[in-house]
Structure 1
């Protein structure tokens, strides 16, 4: 049954809004634990900072929607995996699923090896459908905040 399959799909839980009607059944589409499914994405390049950073790696827990952002000098798979291991996984543990778009850094052999080393599954969103990745909404919020911070309250026309 297609409905049963979709309701039990973790990707669907991360990518589809919940039905607004309340019921007494637990929604089996949602991840059941924090840090079980994370969604990652890159933002940038931006103008290089004084510390040589021009990209932002964004990681979101699909259960709690907790989001963290890390600056990167270059958008390489090595920088992404090292940052996730050092900053994110060292505090929250390894996820069961790592969801990303089809960016070259996320579908490279090095990324697939890292995901395997973490004991996780690597899932990618459909090409040309950025809304299928929950972290994309967080990226929009971050961009608004960055824009406001970088203009220092100066309004431009």
Structure 2
């Protein structure tokens, strides 16, 4: 049966929100309606009705917002760009280390993990120079969060002396 445009809301009310409706999703509501009725742009009307249904919105929660595209970093060679972070504190080791310094190469995804006694900038910079730079070379870029140890004057000066560009993520949104 062809439904006049003026009667479309009545059909949608009955088949989606009414006693026989059950607040089904778009596909199932559309299947039920198409068993008996037809009108131009039926799918669009069902989708619009479903989106505006307050009962369905209360159950399904807020709509998921689309997120911005992730930035793709073009890295041309191993150890050209690295990421660094410090994790801890953990229970201390016999040698007094309570933190882990994690360094990862963006090109190869190779991680290096070092146990360190504290997360002070001088400790992190020293470990980075003696354990990473001496083994793999000085990277063009170091990426970190906004931790005090990475934003400190000591760490910034280490990067400047080594000729490395320092970048950072936004807080709580890497």
TM range (shorter): 0.5 to 0.7
Q: Unaligned regions of 5+ residues in structure 2, if any? A: 1-69
Q: Does the alignment pair 1:92 with 2:136?
A: yes
- Which of 26, 45, 57 lines up with 2:101 in the alignment? 57
In the TM superposition, what is the alpha-carbon distance from 1:79 to its structure 2 partner?
0.6
TM-score (norm 2): 0.58
Q: Secondary structure at the match of 2:115?
A: strand
Q: Secondary structure at the match of 1:32?
A: coil
Aligned to 1:103: 147
TM-score (norm 1): 0.65
Q: Distance in 2 between matches of 1:68 and 1:35?
A: 12
Structure with higher RCO (Cα < 8 A, 6+ apart): 1
Runs of 4+ in 1 over 3 A off after TM superposition: none
In the TM superposition, what is the alpha-carbon distance from 1:12 to its structure 2 partner?
2.7
Q: How many residues align?
A: 105
Q: Secondary structure at the match of 1:12?
A: coil
Larger Rg, first or second structure (1 or 2): 2
In the TM superposition, what is the alpha-carbon distance from 1:118 to its structure 2 partner?
1.1
Q: Secondary structure at the match of 2:71?
A: helix
Q: Does the alignment pair 1:72 with 2:116?
A: yes
Aligned to 1:81: 125
Aligned to 2:170: 126
Q: Unaligned regions of 5+ residues in structure 1, if any? A: 1-10, 14-28, 133-157
